[in-house]
Structure 1
Amino acid sequence: MNLITISIDSRYVSVPQNTTVLEAARQIGIIIPTLCHVDGKPSDTPCNLCVVEVEGQSNFMQSCVTPVQKGMVVITHSDALSKHRQHLLSKLAKTHFGDCKAPCNLTCPGQINVQGYIAHVAKGQYEEALRLIMERNPMPFSVGRVCPRFCETRCRRILVDEPVSINHLKRFVADWCMTHEIDLKITKDKPTGKRVAIIGGGPAGLTAAYFLTRKGHEVTIFEAAPKLGGALRYGFLEYRIPREVLDYEINTILRLGISVKLSQKWGRDFNIQSLKEQGYDAVFIASGAGIDNSLDIPGGIGPHVYTAMNYLRKVAEGKKTDIGKRVAVIGGNNIAMEVARTLLRQDVDEVTVVYPRARLEMTAHQRNIKEAENEGIQFLLMASPYEIIQRENKRSRLELKLIRMKLGKQNSKGKREPEPIPGTSNILQVDSIIASLGQSAVSGNFEGGDIEESIELSPRETINSNTRTSQTNIDGIFAGGDAVSGPKSVIQAVVSARRAATNIHAYIMGEDKEPADSRFNFTRGKTFDDVDFKNFSDIKITLRERMPTRPPEICNKDFDEVKLGFTEKMARREADRCLSCGCTAFDRCDLKKMLIEHTININKTGMGITPIYGKDYSHPAFIIDRDKCIYCRRCERSCEYDALELGIESMDGAGQITGLTINFKDNCVSCGACIDSCSTGALNKKAQTIPIQAEAVREVRTTCPYCGAGCQMLLRVKGNTIIEVNSEKDLAPNYGALCVKGRLAHEFVQHKERLKKPLIRKNGILVEVGWDEALEYTAKRFFDLKAMYGADSIAAFSCARATNEENYLMQKFMRTSIGTNNIDHCARL
């Protein structure tokens, strides 16, 4: 064989004659970009991305069709080539229309694969849905009950009828797995020998402990309270988060092997220096923001005047409080709503929330305000307290002096601050006052030692930490959650702690931090106003499922949970409402990968803004989305049966096409080779509804179970669920080919009615038994039949799924052990 030696990017390679430059480059690991190439089948409408510079040639050369020549010197990457490829890719992106990630995924602070877990729910794969959630949020029980639901605010379903009840679905899968005692078998990396101390056992501390333990580190939580949970236990009462649910959630995290030291107050029982002396390699401060801001008016500190978190903690600990029958709550934040609703459950007759702005300007979520109002809370708005007077009399214990407020002129930031209206004072007769005016992480400075005193604080009395590294001004000391941000939602504390855990891992292991997920995203519209209503032309109106809730006039009398949760049928129906906005080909889209690699900003260069064709569901196994097609025609040239044809009406000088058609002929066998070769998400499998984004996917090589041909397949598995089936081109006997059953019919594995254990009929009822009993029963029946009627009364029929080895074993068993030739196989391979 004559070999020709050429230089590619200053590296030499010897290849046979007639080898293309593209093939030669691949042999030495040099990747030349291409969107249209199919081995052995050149395109008559090439993408021209694979062009290279060849010494002595004035023009770029197509590497996919240019054969090697002796002494050839090839350059695959240069400024000129980059500009050429950027121009072509930008042109392709202008007509590509769709969403890479669903808006709900992008809006979720935790960047959870929302579309993915909803798709799992729709398929009844609740365990896998919870696994997917817990890859980024280890506290789905709590978040599923108290999350502000940022994701639902951007749900495109709202343009049809109502947004999907995403958070209720998160709660459903968590509660379902708890009820069915599902062990998720959460994996951990091998022990690293590194130790991390976490100060605070609230949502941030527990989250950091979860992710650091999964990385193989030894983690200890130091908690000042007698129980873990932080704000989840002492800020949300049982009508929001039942204690048995919270305890189950915490224990799920602790089962990873996390050490806990309770009733350990920072500054009294330990300090950062003592933690260092104990051998901890890093410290994470997750102490929260539990110090209430006081009511700074005359009489603001005195008998029967409480602060919000102090009051909620007493109630959570079961301590009695002499509140009286009429109480005023000062403040309009979420904690104020929790206080007000808790007061009703303590037999307070009249609860009034006082706030100096209008209802829409209250910092509490409007959903929380509405629920409080439904339970009987009164609101006195555009009013502010200016004095509290102690009056122990029959009518009340306190007089709360108020003044009416109005909004003043806009300040430099465009905000209108409330101003008092002279001569509009009023008096509210109450027995107690609870102030909810925000919280801080520390009052003054941390106490406990020199290190504590040197920790930098913000003007809001929270910890200053680097937003990129989560590290404080002291090496090896990290901070996150409310201790840094001030009071935020639980999911925001979880996100902050997860980011900190990633940074801590990189720090103690001396590694570079894992790169952040790319924010690159095609979108059908960044805002609702940008979304074309043609997207929803075939969507029928289906209102969302209503959360079963105890009536307000009943639930405000006790601390039993108010919202009762979805039933399984309700969850499945709600999950079916999801529009599946994000691309299910997210992880295999070559166009997206190349646009990212060539640093193209599609927000500037342009992308498709309106659907032209719409989705085609006419094929029994595939979905055709021509709005995503870039006319690379790889699918057409990959089909071994000539069962697929693409056509266009016209193509202009810039390469833009019109009148695209994608037609499957009657001889299509649904092998899926066209989908595997698609460079975008223009072709997808109907069975694959779960997008794979940043999650880890295992690849398991196995033999197809559907017949005895022995075709090799590659299962893509997440957790315990097969997401899709692929094949490898270099493995015999199928060399990448799979039939429709091998490629698409794998969902029987997850079917609820699939038999996983042997059954024996006893007293007319099929019951599960062990394999030994089943085999013994079968052997006895064979023996009895042979003894009573002879060997030829028995026949064996092998199914098409049996392998050649199983067929051989079956016929040997029948001929030697039973003594008959009554054997057959439906496939006759």
Structure 2
Amino acid sequence: MPKLTIDNREVEVADGATILDAAGKLGIEIPTLCFLEVCKPSTSCMVCVVKVEGLVSLVPACATIVRDGMQVESDCNQVHEARKAALELLLSDHLGDCLGPCHTICPAQMNIPLMIRQIAAEKLSDAIATVKEDIALPAVLGRICPKPCERGCRRAAIDEAVSICLLKRYVADVDLQSARPYSPTCKPGRDKRVAIVGAGPAGLATGYYLQQAGYGCTIFDDHEKPGGMLQYGVPEQELPRYVLDNEIALIEKLGVKFLCKTRIGDMLSMESLRRDFDAVFVATGALETADVESMGLKAGSKGIAMDGKTYQTNLPGVFAGGDAVHKRKLAIRAVADGKEAAASIDQYLSGQPVTGPAKPFNTRIGKLKDDEKETFAACGSESPRVTLPEQGDGFTDEQARIEAARCLHCDCRKADDCKLRQHSQSYQARAGRYKGDRRSFTQQVQHPEVIYESGKCIDCGLCVQIAAEAGEKIGLTFVGRGFDVRVAVPFDYSMAQALERAAGKCVAACPTGALAFTG
């Protein structure tokens, strides 16, 4: 049995084993895209390359048989750069949005297309969980948000944008009116406490997310009731107070404590907060320079000076956001501040480097061609935008389903499971490093469960092999030549005819979002 070393660690493997097999035995992770244990290696992606002593070129770990005495490096700079280049070459020919335009333009980065699919499928308990993963006050914002997400909706190029904000409100209202409104699971207590100064949208959101992370949160506010500008600055006809109060009650139910009519400076000091709590988040609303400096904080041009990515101030363990650092015209932006600050505070209290929330990797199609608009239009219903008789009304169940059916689903349905995206994020690959002529975006929705987008295919051939081994009569094959090679259904058969048995296995094996479930 041959022995080899990988990254200075020795391992013995069976005859015929590959470097990838040996790495797995050592617990060393080598990225792969075109490899699947049950399929013959194609070595088409070259993402698994490693360096072998004595060889001039890097070799694919998935197909290189181990020789006795081999010395392999899987984690050196040369290997990292080669993997990054391989990913960037694949991305140069990758056509599709990882995240829908509405998702990326939303200040809170809510997964809007997923919420809409869940509404269309009448999975409202899933929809509210999706919404509240990113937005702590959806019923409130569903009434007062100026809807920046709808400016990014591609449906507007056909007729009118999808009523995203009203759909969000619909989900939240149904939940609030239910016998058991949604309450996320909180992690076990971490024996660390956070003081939040200000019970406006930023402070409420920070408490909502940190309490879920296992921290004990106390929100201080100088008003009689929590809510900040939402409670005292928005007209009742725009935001009924029972809606705000009900959503705050859900935050309190998580375990967040509220101490109202308590003003920092008069009744408690920054010094005492830092002494009694493990971290402090300042979200008081707009502050004068003298007020900022009285807390020992450095003043900026528009409020408290802080790091724009991590929300850290000049005082260790003190973070700031919302109107306290910059006048936020949008409540959704303040809520987003709270969520992002919570991520930084969690990193700080966990002893990790405070880097702020990671920016999700995303590729974009860009401006659509006319024929591409028609392709996207085929994914949504022909119904016009649902209009409500009175301003301030919400959707009925039927209206919500009709409006949800208008969505074009511009996102990748497999974004969270796409290995190309995951590895690109890990290796900090740039989608635009290599540029060429852009092909037209195409979709095949001829299967009741599966959607195929050839622009995301990396020609690994896994689905071709799996379909053949499953005994599909039609199956899949490669068509075209050179750079135009793509996996396709042969002749004029449909995807439903091609994948009668192996659809699920093909979707599971696909390393990108080329093959994905429609739901």
Question: Which of 427, 432, 446 matches 2:291?
Answer: 446
Q: Which whole-Å CA distance do the structure 1 matches of 2:462 and 2:189 have between them?
A: 46
Aligned pairs for 1:584-663 (under 5 A) are 584-606=413-435, 609-611=438-440, 614-639=442-467, 640-643=469-472, 644-651=475-482, 656-658=483-485, 660-663=487-490
Larger deviation: 466-475 or 510-519? 510-519
Q: Which whole-Å CA distance do the structure 1 matches of 2:356 and 2:260 have between them?
A: 35
Q: Which whole-Å CA distance do the structure 2 matches of 1:79 and 1:177 have between them?
A: 51
Amino acid at match of 1:621: E
Question: Which of 261, 266, 278 matches 1:281?
Answer: 278
> What secondary structure does 1:252 align onto?
helix
Correspondence for 2:129: 131
Q: Which whole-Å CA distance do the structure 2 matches of 1:260 and 1:194 have between them?
A: 17
> For residues 726-783 of structure 1, what are the alpha-carbon distances to aligned partners after superposition, in whole Å with 9 as ceiling and x for unaligned?
xxxxxxxxxxxxxxxxxxxxxxxxxxxxxxxxxxxxxxxxxxxxxxxxxxxxxxxxxx
Relative to structure 1, is the Cα distance of residues 605 and 227 closer, same or farther in structure 2, using a 3 angstrom cutoff? Answer: same
> What secondary structure does 2:364 align onto?
coil
Aligned pairs for 1:41-52 (under 5 A) are 41-43=39-41, 46-52=44-50
Q: Which whole-Å CA distance do the structure 2 matches of 1:92 and 1:42 have between them?
A: 21
Amino acid at match of 1:159: A
- In the alignment, does 2:298 pair up with 1:456? yes
Percentage of matched positions with identical amino acids: 34
> For residues 401-438 of structure 1, what are the alpha-carbon distances to aligned partners after superposition, in whole Å with 9 as ceiling and x for unaligned?
xxxxxxxxxxxxxxxxxxxxxxxxxxxxxxxxxxxxxx
Q: Which whole-Å CA distance do the structure 2 matches of 1:619 and 1:271 have between them?
A: 63
Q: Which whole-Å CA distance do the structure 1 matches of 2:312 and 2:51 have between them?
A: 47
Shift in Å, 1:571:
0.8
Shift in Å, 1:123:
1.1
Relative to structure 1, is the Cα distance of residues 215 and 608 closer, same or farther in structure 2, using a 3 angstrom cutoff? Answer: farther
Q: Is the 8 A contact 1:616 1:623 kept in 2?
A: yes
Q: Is the 8 A contact 2:211 2:217 kept in 1?
A: yes
Q: Which whole-Å CA distance do the structure 2 matches of 1:468 and 1:170 have between them?
A: 27
- In the alignment, does 2:404 pair up with 1:575? yes
Aligned pairs for 1:678-697 (under 5 A) are 678-686=510-518, 689=519
Q: Which whole-Å CA distance do the structure 2 matches of 1:209 and 1:288 have between them?
A: 16
Q: Which has the higher contact order (CA 8 A, sep 6+)?
A: 2
Correspondence for 1:677: 509
Bigger Rg, structure 1 or 2: 1
Relative to structure 1, is the Cα distance of residues 153 and 650 closer, same or farther in structure 2, using a 3 angstrom cutoff? Answer: same
> What secondary structure does 1:39 align onto?
coil
Relative to structure 1, is the Cα distance of residues 56 and 224 closer, same or farther in structure 2, using a 3 angstrom cutoff? Answer: closer
Larger deviation: 626-635 or 512-521? 512-521
Shift in Å, 1:583:
0.5
Q: Is the 8 A contact 1:534 1:611 kept in 2?
A: no
Amino acid at match of 1:36: C
Q: Is the 8 A contact 1:115 1:582 kept in 2?
A: yes
Aligned pairs for 1:80-229 (under 5 A) are 80-229=78-227
Q: Which whole-Å CA distance do the structure 2 matches of 1:478 and 1:37 have between them?
A: 45
Q: Is the 8 A contact 2:347 2:353 kept in 1?
A: yes
Shift in Å, 1:671:
5.4
> For residues 572-596 of structure 1, what are the alpha-carbon distances to aligned partners after superposition, in whole Å with 9 as ceiling and x for unaligned?
1111111111101112212223333
Correspondence for 1:810: none
Q: Is the 8 A contact 1:548 1:565 kept in 2?
A: no
Aligned residue pairs total: 510
Q: Which whole-Å CA distance do the structure 2 matches of 1:481 and 1:198 have between them?
A: 12
Greater helix proportion? 2
Question: Which of 472, 492, 511 matches 2:333?
Answer: 492
Q: Which whole-Å CA distance do the structure 1 matches of 2:229 and 2:382 have between them?
A: 39
Relative to structure 1, is the Cα distance of residues 530 and 61 closer, same or farther in structure 2, using a 3 angstrom cutoff? Answer: same
Q: Is the 8 A contact 1:144 1:167 kept in 2?
A: yes
Shift in Å, 1:570:
0.6
Q: Is the 8 A contact 2:222 2:261 kept in 1?
A: yes
Amino acid at match of 1:445: A
> For residues 612-631 of structure 1, what are the alpha-carbon distances to aligned partners after superposition, in whole Å with 9 as ceiling and x for unaligned?
5x222223332222221111
Q: Which whole-Å CA distance do the structure 2 matches of 1:501 and 1:61 have between them?
A: 43
CA RMSD of aligned residues (A): 2.6
Relative to structure 1, is the Cα distance of residues 108 and 36 closer, same or farther in structure 2, using a 3 angstrom cutoff? Answer: same
Larger deviation: 240-249 or 537-546? 537-546
Q: Which whole-Å CA distance do the structure 2 matches of 1:483 and 1:626 have between them?
A: 48
> What secondary structure does 1:196 align onto?
strand
Relative to structure 1, is the Cα distance of residues 77 and 458 closer, same or farther in structure 2, using a 3 angstrom cutoff? Answer: closer
Shift in Å, 1:260:
1.8
Shift in Å, 1:285:
1.9
> For residues 430-485 of structure 1, what are the alpha-carbon distances to aligned partners after superposition, in whole Å with 9 as ceiling and x for unaligned?
xxxxxxxxxxx22x5129xxx7254332344x222222332333333322111211
Relative to structure 1, is the Cα distance of residues 176 and 528 closer, same or farther in structure 2, using a 3 angstrom cutoff? Answer: same
> What secondary structure does 2:433 align onto?
helix
Larger deviation: 641-650 or 510-519? 510-519
Greater strand proportion? 1
> For residues 66-98 of structure 1, what are the alpha-carbon distances to aligned partners after superposition, in whole Å with 9 as ceiling and x for unaligned?
322222223335555445444443332222211
Instruction: Calculate the TM-score normalised by the size of structure 1.
Output: 0.58
Aligned pairs for 1:363-762 (under 5 A) are 441-442=287-288, 445-446=290-291, 452=294, 454-460=296-302, 462-513=303-354, 516-525=357-366, 527=367, 532-536=372-376, 538=378, 541-549=382-390, 562-606=391-435, 609-611=438-440, 614-639=442-467, 640-643=469-472, 644-651=475-482, 656-658=483-485, 660-663=487-490, 668-670=500-502, 672-686=504-518, 689=519
Relative to structure 1, is the Cα distance of residues 593 and 260 closer, same or farther in structure 2, using a 3 angstrom cutoff? Answer: closer
Q: Is the 8 A contact 1:22 1:63 kept in 2?
A: yes
Relative to structure 1, is the Cα distance of residues 31 and 487 closer, same or farther in structure 2, using a 3 angstrom cutoff? Answer: closer
Q: Specify every segment of 5 or more residues in structure 1 that has no aligned partner in the other structure, as ranges.
A: 290-440, 550-561, 690-829
Q: Which whole-Å CA distance do the structure 2 matches of 1:102 and 1:285 have between them?
A: 33
Q: Is the 8 A contact 2:35 2:62 kept in 1?
A: yes
Q: Is the 8 A contact 1:143 1:491 kept in 2?
A: yes
Relative to structure 1, is the Cα distance of residues 142 and 43 closer, same or farther in structure 2, using a 3 angstrom cutoff? Answer: same
Q: Which whole-Å CA distance do the structure 2 matches of 1:216 and 1:49 have between them?
A: 38
Amino acid at match of 1:229: G
Q: Is the 8 A contact 2:155 2:377 kept in 1?
A: no
Question: Which of 1, 4, 10 matches 2:2?
Answer: 4
Q: Specify every segment of 5 or more residues in structure 2 that has no aligned partner in the other structure, as ranges.
A: none
Correspondence for 2:263: 265
Shift in Å, 1:174:
0.8
Q: Which whole-Å CA distance do the structure 2 matches of 1:593 and 1:496 have between them?
A: 25
Relative to structure 1, is the Cα distance of residues 531 and 597 closer, same or farther in structure 2, using a 3 angstrom cutoff? Answer: farther
> What secondary structure does 1:260 align onto?
strand
Q: Is the 8 A contact 2:376 2:408 kept in 1?
A: no
Amino acid at match of 1:55: E
Shift in Å, 1:104:
0.7
